[in-house]
Amino acid sequence: MRVGFGYDSHRLVEGRKLIIGGVSIPFPKGLGGHSDADVLCHAIADAIIGAIGLGDIGTHFPDTDPRWKDAVSIEILKYVIELARMNGFRVAWIDTTIIAERPRIAPYVAQMKDALSETGIPPGAINIKAKTNEGMGFIGRGEGIAAYAVCLLDKI
């Protein structure tokens, strides 16, 4: 078995869709970044890449690569899960925490699990928690959103 840990954060900016866990959430701002800036997908991808010992998301999806411009991060995650499979591992469990002051994330958790199941993560093998930062720091000021993920991979 292997464990992996991932963290990601993105700035909230005008003129972008807010996409978290593959779900488009109605909100006046979205996360800025080279891809669709889906913090949850990126944190999970980094956890899985960490567990297989192959660096980080930036190694595999450089933000200088035009291929990944505005990429749908669900696709990035599919690639990473396939990378794990090719290295002899499958996802046994993923636990995550999204930290956002606004909007409220909890109503979208079930949809996120559905969207993430497209990547090959079974809906029964992932937990998604949501918290605010109690008004503190960059998240508390509404400047950005962050996500943490840990995963357990099993040898196939």
- Cβ-closest position to Mg ion: 42
Smallest separation (angstroms) from Mg ion to the CB of 72: 13
Smallest separation (angstroms) from Mg ion to the CB of 31: 8
Q: Which is nearer to Mg ion, 100 or 122 (CB)?
A: 100
Provide the binding-site residues for Mg ion, judged by CB under 5 A.
Answer: 8, 42
Round to whole Å and give the CA distance between 141 and 5.
Answer: 26
Strand (E) or helix (H) holding 48: helix 39-52
Burial class (CB in 10 A: 0-12, 13-18, 19+), 31: buried
Q: Which is nearer to Mg ion, 58 or 88 (CB)?
A: 58
Q: Which is nearer to Mg ion, 7 or 27 (CB)?
A: 7
Q: Which is nearer to Mg ion, 71 or 126 (CB)?
A: 71
Smallest separation (angstroms) from Mg ion to the CB of 63: 9
List 140's β-bridge partners, or say none: none
Q: Which is nearer to Mg ion, 7 or 92 (CB)?
A: 7
Closest CA to 38 of 54, 25, 56: 25
Smallest separation (angstroms) from Mg ion to the CB of 46: 8
Burial class (CB in 10 A: 0-12, 13-18, 19+), 6: buried
Smallest separation (angstroms) from Mg ion to the CB of 42: 4
Round to whole Å and give the CA distance between 26 and 3.
Answer: 34
Strand (E) or helix (H) holding 69: none
